[in-house]
Structure 1
Amino acid sequence: MMSKLASQAVAGALALAASLTCATSQAAWRVDSGQSTFSFTTTKAARPGAAALAEVQTFRQIDGSIGDDGKLVFDVDLASVETNIDLRNQRLKDMLFKVADHPKAVFNGAVDMRRVQALHTGASMDIDVSGALAISGVARPLSASLRVVKLANGALFVGTRLPIVVNLKDYGLQDEVEALRALMNLDVLAGSAPVSFAVMLEPQR
């Protein structure tokens, strides 16, 4: 049986490990959703031979952080989709994203913290970030070309240099796209969309 002294030593070691884990995962920067934008472009055609119509849609609520260890987590509240048409918003939430079961799209990746920390105020750098995007419980590899600008208060402004094309077929949502197309009586409803964002990351200490 473990002695009292040994038990205390183990408890102390576990407490130290827990504190180190918390410190490692502590956010260095966090998304300020009120100063950030996230958009995607949909393409549709009403009838055969008709010119395609592209429309820019947005998500109003985004979140995320970069940790001291360079781990990046970025998520989008799918229920915050805004197409400027209430019925279309509801259809996307219920029929496509099924937000009751999968409320968020989440990207996990990593950045080189040495480059980020070395960035001088007012300077910018271009980085390529690789990771995985999860939508509707399905995760797929995804890469993004980004520009990072360091601001005077230590905040980071991060934006896409090139749109990120997300194909919903990769996430098993082709049937949902087809159901929307049929319901809206469209000839074409694209199952892929270019995504762009401009995100403000505020320092946490």
Structure 2
Amino acid sequence: MYRLTLSILTFFLLLTRPALAAGPFDGGWQLNAESSAIRFISIKKGSIAESSRFAAFSGSISESGEAKIHIALDSVDTSIDLRNVRMRFLFFETFTYPEAAVTAQISPALIADLAAVQRKQIDLPVTLSLHGVEAGLTIPVAVTLLNENLVAVATVQPVILKLEDFNLNAGREKLEEAAGVTITPVGLVSMDLMFERNGAAGSAVPAGTVTAGAATALEASGDFTREACTGRFEILSQGRSVNFAPSTARLDANSRGFLNSLSGIIRRCPGMVVEVGGHTDSQGKADWNMALSEKRAAAVNQYLQQKGIPADRLVAVGYGETTPLVPNDTVQNRAKNRRIEFKVLN
């Protein structure tokens, strides 16, 4: 009888032991965005550190250990409205690269003993996709088992990313011009993530993508003030993201994403008339440059109208070579002078 009772008890314990003991990814896991944070630190003027975050992201770990985290770059939150806009349009160029992604294949052997030790540090190989570039990294992370349905994963130290590795140096230079500061060409990224087992009873927050306070960062709806509109058009003019085939007024296909984002901003500046100004460098004859700038401004005007912006809210003007930003003495400067600018008229 004693042996029978012991056998029944042992069988019962096997049935009811934590799922993590049987397999660390049983059922799969979802990132709880409300209880997580993804931040980065930038350094300006050589010694001033500024901390920012992303307000919208999602993630999961499959039963096979495939981990994915998707970050909406439009949700970058520096706590200052127009600085957010600079980060979106000048640095991340979210109209072309709206998302960053981190993926990893986690070997169950790495955390097979997590139920016993509760917390451990592992070196996790990941792939980071950012600004059109994919790169492999190895990130030390601390994994903490809070209970059988809740796991915390955090970077042990900030991950150092070189901007040149992700083609972000041009964006950094635009930020420097716009803000009038020097910016160190690295970013320090940290993650503090909470994962819940799928189907766990009592999960307070369903799998989602938005963290607390994201509405402000994302600007999901609502009209802008005149000041906010003016600031946005100034920043968008600094992006130099509207390009044309050489010596023509034919819009480059890569300009469309930017202009689509611009049309959304114009809609949220009700009643305001926006000037679309075309500018050239000083190469060639002045009258030819004037005509080309007028045609390019008209091409942008036409595209915005096709996106639903009323014609009476747009004024196309060509300035030719008459208003350079910088002297036309280098290839780089001439490229800066060939531009489309936007400003509020009334």
The question of a shared fold, defined as TM-score above 0.5 by the shorter chain, is answered with yes
Larger fraction in helix: 2
Q: Which residue number corresponds to residue 185 of structure 2?
A: 191
Unpaired segments of 5 or more residues in structure 2?
Answer: 1-25, 200-346
Q: 1:150 aligns with which of 136, 145, 153?
A: 145
Q: Which residue number corresponds to residue 28 of structure 1?
A: 28
Q: Which residue number corresponds to residue 38 of structure 1?
A: 38
Q: Is the contact made by 1:43 and 1:53 (CA closer than 8 Å) also made in structure 2?
A: yes
Q: Which residue number corresponds to residue 74 of structure 2?
A: 79
Output the CA distance in 2 between the equivalents of 1:161 and 1:63.
21
**Greater relative contact order: 1 or 2 (C-alpha under 8 angstroms, separation 6 or more)?**
1
TM-score between both structures, scaled by the size of structure 1: 0.79
Output the CA distance in 2 between the equivalents of 1:116 and 1:28.
15
- Deviation for aligned residue 1:148: 0.3
> Does the alignment pair 1:160 with 2:186?
no
Paired letter, 1:64:
G
Output the CA distance in 1 between the equivalents of 2:135 and 2:110.
26
Paired letter, 2:196:
E
Q: Which residue number corresponds to residue 200 of structure 1?
A: 194
- Deviation for aligned residue 1:115: 3.8
CA distance 1:82–1:89, shift in 2 (3 Å): same
Name the SS for the 1:63 alignment partner.
Answer: strand
Larger fraction in strand: 1
TM-score between both structures, scaled by the size of structure 2: 0.48
Output the CA distance in 2 between the equivalents of 1:109 and 1:164.
16
Unpaired segments of 5 or more residues in structure 1?
Answer: 1-25, 46-50
Q: Is the contact made by 1:27 and 1:66 (CA closer than 8 Å) also made in structure 2?
A: no
Q: Which residue number corresponds to residue 178 of structure 1?
A: 173
1:46-65 equivalence runs, <5 A: 52-65=47-60
Q: Percent identity?
A: 26
Paired letter, 2:34:
G
Between 1:195-204 and 1:93-102, the stretch displaced more is 93-102
- Deviation for aligned residue 1:74: 1.4
Q: Which residue number corresponds to residue 272 of structure 2?
A: none
1:39-92 Cα shifts (integer Å, max 9, x gaps): 1111101xxxxx621111111122111111111111211111111110000110
Paired letter, 1:70:
G
Aligned Cα RMSD in Å? 2.0
Q: Is the contact made by 1:122 and 1:152 (CA closer than 8 Å) also made in structure 2?
A: no
Number of residue pairs the alignment of both structures matches: 175
Q: Is the contact made by 1:38 and 1:58 (CA closer than 8 Å) also made in structure 2?
A: yes
Name the SS for the 1:68 alignment partner.
Answer: coil
Paired letter, 1:157:
A
